[in-house]
Amino acid sequence: MSSLVERRLVSAAMISLIVLTLLGAAVSTPVDDRIVGGYDCKAHSQPWQASLNIGYHFCGGSLINDQWIVSAAHCWMNPWSQLAILGDNHIWQHEGTEQYMSVDAIYWHQSYNYQTLDHDIMLLKLAHPVTVNEFVRPVALPTACPNAGDMCVVSGWGNIYTDSVFNPFYLQCADVPILSNTDCESSYPGQITDTMVCAGYQEGGIDSCQGDSGGPLVCNGQLHGIVSWGYGCAQPNYPGVYTKVCSLLPWIHEILTSY
Protein backbone atom coordinates (compact mmCIF):
# COMPACT_ATOMS: atom_id res chain seq x y z
CA MET A 1 0.00 0.00 0.00
CA SER A 2 1.53 3.28 -1.06
CA SER A 3 -0.03 5.61 1.50
CA LEU A 4 1.26 5.89 5.02
CA VAL A 5 -1.65 5.70 7.42
CA GLU A 6 -2.43 6.51 11.04
CA ARG A 7 -4.30 3.69 12.70
CA ARG A 8 -7.10 5.90 13.86
CA LEU A 9 -10.89 5.80 13.49
CA VAL A 10 -12.04 9.29 12.65
CA SER A 11 -15.63 8.84 11.51
CA ALA A 12 -18.32 6.21 12.07
CA ALA A 13 -21.95 5.50 11.27
CA MET A 14 -23.94 2.52 12.42
CA ILE A 15 -25.63 1.67 9.10
CA SER A 16 -27.37 -1.34 10.61
CA LEU A 17 -27.51 -3.17 13.90
CA ILE A 18 -24.88 -5.52 12.55
CA VAL A 19 -22.25 -3.39 10.79
CA LEU A 20 -20.37 -0.37 12.10
CA THR A 21 -18.33 1.32 9.40
CA LEU A 22 -15.37 3.32 10.60
CA LEU A 23 -13.29 5.43 8.26
CA GLY A 24 -9.53 5.69 8.71
CA ALA A 25 -7.86 9.08 8.57
CA ALA A 26 -6.29 9.18 5.13
CA VAL A 27 -3.49 11.67 5.27
CA SER A 28 -0.05 11.93 3.76
CA THR A 29 1.44 10.52 6.95
CA PRO A 30 1.23 7.07 8.64
CA VAL A 31 -2.13 5.35 9.21
CA ASP A 32 -3.17 1.96 10.59
CA ASP A 33 -5.79 0.99 13.16
CA ARG A 34 -7.38 -2.41 13.71
CA ILE A 35 -6.63 -5.96 14.70
CA VAL A 36 -6.23 -8.11 11.58
CA GLY A 37 -5.66 -11.84 12.06
CA GLY A 38 -6.45 -11.69 15.76
CA TYR A 39 -9.06 -13.25 18.01
CA ASP A 40 -11.73 -12.29 20.53
CA CYS A 41 -9.91 -11.34 23.72
CA LYS A 42 -10.98 -13.30 26.77
CA ALA A 43 -13.59 -10.98 28.26
CA HIS A 44 -11.96 -8.31 30.46
CA SER A 45 -8.50 -9.84 30.09
CA GLN A 46 -7.19 -6.38 29.11
CA PRO A 47 -8.67 -4.32 31.98
CA TRP A 48 -6.51 -1.28 31.12
CA GLN A 49 -8.06 -0.99 27.64
CA ALA A 50 -9.90 2.28 27.11
CA SER A 51 -12.23 3.37 24.34
CA LEU A 52 -12.11 7.06 23.50
CA ASN A 53 -15.61 7.98 22.43
CA ILE A 54 -17.30 11.02 20.86
CA GLY A 55 -20.64 9.30 20.29
CA TYR A 56 -18.73 6.43 18.73
CA HIS A 57 -15.39 4.76 19.38
CA PHE A 58 -12.60 6.57 17.53
CA CYS A 59 -9.38 5.52 19.29
CA GLY A 60 -8.02 3.30 22.03
CA GLY A 61 -6.00 4.08 25.11
CA SER A 62 -4.43 2.49 28.18
CA LEU A 63 -5.16 3.23 31.82
CA ILE A 64 -1.81 3.74 33.59
CA ASN A 65 -3.08 4.79 37.01
CA ASP A 66 -6.48 5.51 38.51
CA GLN A 67 -6.81 8.92 36.81
CA TRP A 68 -4.62 8.89 33.70
CA ILE A 69 -4.87 7.29 30.26
CA VAL A 70 -2.09 7.24 27.67
CA SER A 71 -2.93 7.27 23.96
CA ALA A 72 -1.51 8.44 20.61
CA ALA A 73 -1.19 12.17 19.99
CA HIS A 74 -2.77 11.77 16.56
CA CYS A 75 -5.97 10.71 18.40
CA TRP A 76 -6.38 14.18 19.92
CA MET A 77 -9.92 15.51 20.17
CA ASN A 78 -11.36 18.32 22.26
CA PRO A 79 -11.32 16.84 25.78
CA TRP A 80 -14.77 18.22 26.62
CA SER A 81 -16.34 16.51 23.62
CA GLN A 82 -15.33 12.98 24.57
CA LEU A 83 -15.69 10.23 27.11
CA ALA A 84 -13.19 7.58 28.09
CA ILE A 85 -14.93 4.24 28.54
CA LEU A 86 -13.24 1.58 30.63
CA GLY A 87 -14.33 -1.95 31.51
CA ASP A 88 -15.87 -2.50 28.07
CA ASN A 89 -15.85 -5.76 26.08
CA HIS A 90 -18.78 -5.63 23.64
CA ILE A 91 -18.51 -2.16 22.12
CA TRP A 92 -22.28 -1.68 21.57
CA GLN A 93 -23.74 -3.64 24.49
CA HIS A 94 -24.06 -2.39 28.05
CA GLU A 95 -22.63 -5.12 30.25
CA GLY A 96 -22.70 -3.40 33.63
CA THR A 97 -18.89 -3.43 33.91
CA GLU A 98 -18.26 -0.13 32.13
CA GLN A 99 -17.09 3.10 33.71
CA TYR A 100 -17.81 6.27 31.73
CA MET A 101 -15.28 8.96 32.55
CA SER A 102 -15.19 12.62 31.52
CA VAL A 103 -11.81 13.90 30.34
CA ASP A 104 -10.55 16.92 32.26
CA ALA A 105 -7.41 17.74 30.23
CA ILE A 106 -5.15 16.38 27.52
CA TYR A 107 -1.37 16.83 27.32
CA TRP A 108 0.44 15.86 24.15
CA HIS A 109 4.17 15.71 23.71
CA GLN A 110 5.70 19.05 22.81
CA SER A 111 7.85 17.36 20.14
CA TYR A 112 4.96 15.53 18.45
CA ASN A 113 5.25 15.75 14.65
CA TYR A 114 1.96 15.10 12.87
CA GLN A 115 3.76 14.45 9.56
CA THR A 116 6.23 11.83 10.76
CA LEU A 117 4.32 10.73 13.90
CA ASP A 118 7.48 11.10 15.95
CA HIS A 119 6.65 11.42 19.68
CA ASP A 120 3.11 10.17 18.97
CA ILE A 121 1.89 10.21 22.56
CA MET A 122 -0.59 12.10 24.73
CA LEU A 123 -1.88 11.79 28.28
CA LEU A 124 -5.52 12.24 29.24
CA LYS A 125 -6.37 13.24 32.80
CA LEU A 126 -9.79 11.98 33.85
CA ALA A 127 -12.13 14.27 35.74
CA HIS A 128 -12.32 11.72 38.55
CA PRO A 129 -10.39 8.58 39.49
CA VAL A 130 -11.76 5.28 38.24
CA THR A 131 -12.86 2.53 40.57
CA VAL A 132 -10.16 -0.11 40.26
CA ASN A 133 -11.64 -3.61 40.16
CA GLU A 134 -11.42 -6.84 38.17
CA PHE A 135 -12.76 -5.09 35.04
CA VAL A 136 -10.84 -1.81 35.25
CA ARG A 137 -7.20 -1.87 36.28
CA PRO A 138 -4.06 0.05 35.24
CA VAL A 139 -1.27 -1.54 33.23
CA ALA A 140 2.30 -1.21 34.49
CA LEU A 141 4.69 1.13 32.72
CA PRO A 142 7.90 -0.50 31.49
CA THR A 143 11.00 -0.80 33.63
CA ALA A 144 13.23 -1.28 30.57
CA CYS A 145 12.92 -1.29 26.81
CA PRO A 146 11.67 -4.45 25.07
CA ASN A 147 13.92 -6.94 23.33
CA ALA A 148 13.52 -8.27 19.80
CA GLY A 149 11.50 -11.46 19.96
CA ASP A 150 9.51 -10.52 23.06
CA MET A 151 5.89 -11.61 22.53
CA CYS A 152 3.24 -8.99 23.12
CA VAL A 153 -0.52 -8.55 22.93
CA VAL A 154 -2.09 -5.68 20.99
CA SER A 155 -5.79 -5.03 21.50
CA GLY A 156 -8.55 -2.85 20.10
CA TRP A 157 -11.87 -2.54 18.34
CA GLY A 158 -10.37 -1.54 14.99
CA ASN A 159 -10.89 -2.95 11.52
CA ILE A 160 -10.31 -6.68 11.11
CA TYR A 161 -9.79 -6.87 7.34
CA THR A 162 -6.85 -5.79 5.20
CA ASP A 163 -8.88 -4.96 2.09
CA SER A 164 -12.31 -3.88 3.38
CA VAL A 165 -13.86 -2.45 6.53
CA PHE A 166 -15.55 -4.34 9.33
CA ASN A 167 -15.28 -3.39 12.96
CA PRO A 168 -15.90 -6.08 15.54
CA PHE A 169 -18.29 -5.91 18.45
CA TYR A 170 -15.95 -7.70 20.86
CA LEU A 171 -12.50 -6.47 21.85
CA GLN A 172 -9.89 -8.11 19.63
CA CYS A 173 -6.41 -9.29 20.62
CA ALA A 174 -3.42 -10.36 18.56
CA ASP A 175 -0.08 -11.85 19.60
CA VAL A 176 2.86 -10.15 17.90
CA PRO A 177 6.63 -10.14 18.52
CA ILE A 178 8.86 -7.11 18.93
CA LEU A 179 11.08 -6.73 15.86
CA SER A 180 14.70 -5.67 15.84
CA ASN A 181 15.62 -2.11 14.93
CA THR A 182 17.29 -3.48 11.80
CA ASP A 183 14.13 -5.21 10.61
CA CYS A 184 12.02 -2.18 11.48
CA GLU A 185 14.32 0.16 9.55
CA SER A 186 14.43 -2.16 6.55
CA SER A 187 10.63 -1.95 6.29
CA TYR A 188 10.50 1.83 6.71
CA PRO A 189 13.87 3.26 5.62
CA GLY A 190 14.58 6.64 7.19
CA GLN A 191 11.19 6.82 8.93
CA ILE A 192 11.85 5.10 12.26
CA THR A 193 12.87 7.37 15.13
CA ASP A 194 14.03 6.67 18.67
CA THR A 195 10.41 6.95 19.86
CA MET A 196 9.17 4.12 17.62
CA VAL A 197 9.28 0.34 17.75
CA CYS A 198 7.95 -2.25 15.29
CA ALA A 199 5.97 -5.35 16.21
CA GLY A 200 4.44 -7.98 13.97
CA TYR A 201 5.44 -10.39 11.25
CA GLN A 202 7.42 -9.67 8.10
CA GLU A 203 5.16 -12.09 6.24
CA GLY A 204 2.13 -10.05 7.30
CA GLY A 205 -1.25 -11.48 8.26
CA ILE A 206 -1.47 -10.24 11.86
CA ASP A 207 -1.49 -6.55 12.75
CA SER A 208 -3.31 -3.63 14.32
CA CYS A 209 -5.38 -1.54 11.91
CA GLN A 210 -7.67 1.49 11.52
CA GLY A 211 -9.52 2.05 14.79
CA ASP A 212 -6.85 0.56 17.04
CA SER A 213 -4.82 3.78 17.22
CA GLY A 214 -3.75 4.79 20.70
CA GLY A 215 -4.35 1.32 22.09
CA PRO A 216 -1.95 -0.85 24.08
CA LEU A 217 0.88 -3.16 23.09
CA VAL A 218 1.57 -5.10 26.27
CA CYS A 219 4.61 -7.33 26.72
CA ASN A 220 5.22 -9.35 29.89
CA GLY A 221 2.57 -7.35 31.74
CA GLN A 222 4.04 -3.95 30.86
CA LEU A 223 2.92 -1.30 28.37
CA HIS A 224 5.65 -1.15 25.75
CA GLY A 225 3.81 0.32 22.77
CA ILE A 226 1.00 2.60 21.65
CA VAL A 227 -0.64 1.77 18.31
CA SER A 228 0.60 4.49 15.97
CA TRP A 229 1.01 3.83 12.23
CA GLY A 230 2.01 1.60 9.35
CA TYR A 231 1.54 1.05 5.61
CA GLY A 232 -1.85 -0.58 5.31
CA CYS A 233 -2.71 -3.37 7.74
CA ALA A 234 -1.04 -6.78 7.99
CA GLN A 235 0.80 -6.26 4.69
CA PRO A 236 3.95 -8.32 4.04
CA ASN A 237 7.14 -6.44 4.91
CA TYR A 238 5.18 -3.66 6.64
CA PRO A 239 4.79 -4.47 10.35
CA GLY A 240 2.93 -2.20 12.75
CA VAL A 241 4.80 0.79 14.16
CA TYR A 242 4.18 1.70 17.79
CA THR A 243 5.17 4.59 19.99
CA LYS A 244 8.02 3.27 22.13
CA VAL A 245 6.86 3.90 25.68
CA CYS A 246 10.20 3.23 27.39
CA SER A 247 11.80 6.10 25.45
CA LEU A 248 9.19 8.53 26.78
CA LEU A 249 9.09 7.59 30.46
CA PRO A 250 10.74 10.85 31.66
CA TRP A 251 8.06 12.89 29.88
CA ILE A 252 5.26 10.67 31.19
CA HIS A 253 6.47 10.99 34.78
CA GLU A 254 6.95 14.75 34.39
CA ILE A 255 3.33 15.21 33.29
CA LEU A 256 1.96 12.91 35.98
CA THR A 257 3.82 14.75 38.73
CA SER A 258 3.16 18.26 37.36
CA TYR A 259 -0.59 17.98 36.84
102 is catalytic: no
List Cα–Cα distances, 162 to 33, 34, 126, in angstroms: 11, 9, 34
Question: Out of 57, 74, 109, 119, which one is annotated catalytic?
Answer: 74
Rg of the chain in Å (alpha carbons):
16
94 is catalytic: no
213 is catalytic: yes
Q: 55-90 in b/e burial notation, b at 16+ Cβ within 10 A?
A: ebbbbbbbbbeebbbbbbbbbbbebeebbbbbbbbe
Question: Out of 120, 187, 224, 228, which one is annotated catalytic?
Answer: 120
- How far apart are alpha carbons 166 and 90 in whole angstroms? 15
Question: Out of 62, 187, 208, 213, which one is annotated catalytic?
Answer: 213
The burial class, CB within 10 Å (0-12 / 13-18 / 19+), for 22 is: buried
- How far apart are alpha carbons 84 and 104 in whole angstroms? 11
Catalytic residues: 74, 120, 213
